[in-house]
Structure 1
Amino acid sequence: MPAQLCKGAVMKKYNNILVAIDPAQDHQPALSRAIHLANKSSDVKITIFLAIYDFSYEMTSMLSSEERHAMRRGVVMQREAWLKDLIKPHAEDGLDIDIKVVWHNRPYEAIVAEVFTSHIDLLVKATHAHDKIGSVIFTPTDWHLLRKCPCPVLMVKEHSWPENGKIVACVNLAADSETHESLNNAIVKEAQCIAGILGAEINLVNAYPATPVNITIELPEFDPASYTDAVRGHHLTSMKALRQQYSICEEQTYVIEGLPEDVIPKVAEDLDAELVILGTTGRTGLSAVFIGNTAEHTIDSLNCDLLALKPDGYVSPLAPNID
């Protein structure tokens, strides 16, 4: 089914993509995903970025600072040569791809700095898959980027994006705050952007909480069935308004009782989705759909790519100081 667009929707695209390279791997899923997106659009610039560091080069007291600098520069040049070989076939196909290698002991800080410096639209980074269950395993660098990177972060796995695939956009319909409403809209619009590029189907999912057991114990007159019906009714009404705003079919919306960390991976698995889109706030965990560690449990259980967005007005703790 073709992607759905509401009337007047402005289709953004990713003009400036930053790919975080894994120095331990020859095959780069993140680069493959960025090239896939670039081939579906026009005027896309890709920068492949590598932050390297070797503490031994800092501890060699017998060498002068100039000699240590020369040694570091030699390592950087070796990596630059490797990256040039990596992108050669794609550059020959006419793609606009740049290379940047920096010496930095905190890769996530170097990556976010490049996002700010080069006005990046999308950061793409590969994740690691658990051998037993196939879920995504996030490294400390991944978590820092998900929490602190100001632009959308696409975490990819070792698989392709087929045509006419499925996207799961996770929305939070429990809160009435402007921040959550704005982020819900951003999530759906981002889903439309990618669906428009790939010809994918958008599915909206929202998890709502079950009736707390302690309330039924402490308040004998409390009617849990009526409470549950009221909560579900609120979420269904909110979902209807959201899907109608963006012309999404009812059959492609899911309002399910349960914890987000249980509901969302299950829906993504049942749909065999290629991508899950979440909202983030960058506090101690991910939010918009979740607060705190709930998101961490959720995305660790996903068996597909993840796109994490920040709300409008988000200010990264790594933002450069401007006097």
Structure 2
Amino acid sequence: MREYQKLLVVIDPTTDDQAALARAVELAEHSQAAITVFLSIFDLSYEMTSILSSQEREAMRQGVIDQRTAWLQDIIAPYQSRGLAIETKVIWHNRPFESIIQYAIEGDYHLIVKATHEHDKLKAVIFTPTDWHLLRKAPMPVLMVKEHDWSKNGKILCAVNVATEDADHDSLNEKIIKHGLDLAKKFSAELHLVNGYPGTPVNLAIELPDFDANNFTASVKMQHEQRVDYLAESFGIDPANCHVKEGLPEDVIPELAAELDAELVILGTIGRTALSAALIGNTAEHVIDSLNCDLLAIKPAGYKSPLETE
């Protein structure tokens, strides 16, 4: 697995407190990675001013870009004294997610880092359209940063899917675990695996009087435990750190993350074919909404973003 040697940090223009940059600096200090802080800006009023010539409009846009670039320089100044390689990039673009992904692809960045927005009143994390587009369409891993600190000797939770013995799922599970192991090594963290398995379908218990729900559930649980244990053994993970729980993944994963006080959850996003190729799985979306820690979203091998040029 490639280490994160090039990090693209998406800056929040509404605040001077840049949680994504702080997290990226933590990562960079463990791997000597290069960081680019990136800001996508657009103001329709500059485009609508018909009394100005195209050259004058361009000059106005450039003035705003220069102003924002200077602001970014102020933000990165405290970190540059640590000897980190940090650059800035401001782009004028009316669709932020497109500019972020296209710049990340063209620059061969290994990781996109972005903070989520938190609603002050309810303390609920709100994912913006840009967040969702990045998770759905960026071909490289995306780290969504929340407020939970990354402490030394913390916990990283890898969500694996063992419901089917499918080559694509197996490959994605391995990719998730490899990312987890790499980060666990860098931060002296403890790696855990989590998997949710379905309970007994209610209609079976009702329609089949002789159906033994307990045996069915026990059988499903054992099958999932065996597959998770096999994964753990393959990567040298302590069996005590394997968690197989009854319930939907979108319930099981956030509950365990809170129980363990995990710093990071790593999960795979579903790659699909044809028109739905850009869609992230519904499970992942529900999990993200409920997490109180950072999330690292990993695409399957061979995933091609709809924004990648042929």
Shared fold per TM-score greater than 0.5? yes
Report how far residue 132 of structure 1 moved: 6.3
Superposition map of 1:12-27 within 5 A: 12-27=2-17
Residue 182 of structure 2 is aligned to residue 193 of structure 1: yes
Q: Structure 2 CA distance, aligned partners of 1:213 and 1:120?
A: 47
Superposition map of 1:140-289 within 5 A: 140-282=129-271, 283=277, 285-287=279-281
Give the SS at the match of 1:214.
helix
Instruction: Report if aligned partners of 1:236, 1:255 keep a CA contact under 8 Å in 2.
Output: yes
Q: Which 10-residue stretch deviates more, 219-228 or 249-258?
A: 219-228
Report how far residue 285 of structure 1 moved: 4.6
Instruction: Report if aligned partners of 1:207, 1:259 keep a CA contact under 8 Å in 2.
Output: yes
Residue 20 of structure 2 is aligned to residue 30 of structure 1: yes
Deviation per CA, 1:226-282, whole angstroms, max 9, x where unpaired? 211211111011011011011111111100000111111100000000100010125
Q: Structure 2 CA distance, aligned partners of 1:185 and 1:112?
A: 25
Instruction: Report if aligned partners of 2:148, 2:292 keep a CA contact under 8 Å in 1.
Output: no
Report how far residue 63 of structure 1 moved: 0.8
Give the SS at the match of 1:40.
helix
Instruction: Report if aligned partners of 2:278, 2:306 keep a CA contact under 8 Å in 1.
Output: no
Q: Structure 2 CA distance, aligned partners of 1:189 and 1:167?
A: 12
Q: Structure 1 CA distance, aligned partners of 2:199 and 2:123?
A: 28
Q: Structure 2 CA distance, aligned partners of 1:193 and 1:296?
A: 25
Superposition map of 1:113-128 within 5 A: 113-128=102-117
For 1:6, the equivalent position in structure 2 comes to none
List 4+ stretches of structure 1 deviating above 4 A. 130-135, 282-285
Report how far residue 131 of structure 1 moved: 4.5
- Given the alignment, which residue of 278, 287, 290 partners 1:301? 290
Q: Structure 2 CA distance, aligned partners of 1:229 and 1:120?
A: 45
For 2:56, the equivalent position in structure 1 comes to 67
Letter of the structure 2 residue corresponding to residue 252 of structure 1: N
Letter of the structure 1 residue corresponding to residue 3 of structure 2: K
Instruction: Report if aligned partners of 2:40, 2:99 keep a CA contact under 8 Å in 1.
Output: yes
Report how far residue 136 of structure 1 moved: 3.1
Q: Which runs of 5+ in 1 are unaligned?
A: 1-9, 288-292
Q: Structure 2 CA distance, aligned partners of 1:182 and 1:133?
A: 39
Equivalent residues, number = 305
RMSD: 1.4
Letter of the structure 1 residue corresponding to residue 13 of structure 2: P
Q: Structure 1 CA distance, aligned partners of 2:114 and 2:23?
A: 9
Q: Structure 1 CA distance, aligned partners of 2:278 and 2:121?
A: 28
Give the alignment's TM-score, normalised by structure 1: 0.91
Instruction: Report if aligned partners of 1:285, 1:296 keep a CA contact under 8 Å in 2.
Output: no
Give the SS at the match of 1:58.
helix
Instruction: Report if aligned partners of 1:76, 1:101 keep a CA contact under 8 Å in 2.
Output: yes
Instruction: Report if aligned partners of 1:262, 1:298 keep a CA contact under 8 Å in 2.
Output: yes
Give the alignment's TM-score, normalised by structure 2: 0.95
Q: Which 10-residue stretch deviates more, 172-181 or 275-284?
A: 275-284
Give the SS at the match of 2:48.
coil
Deviation per CA, 1:209-239, whole angstroms, max 9, x where unpaired? 0111011222223222221121111101101
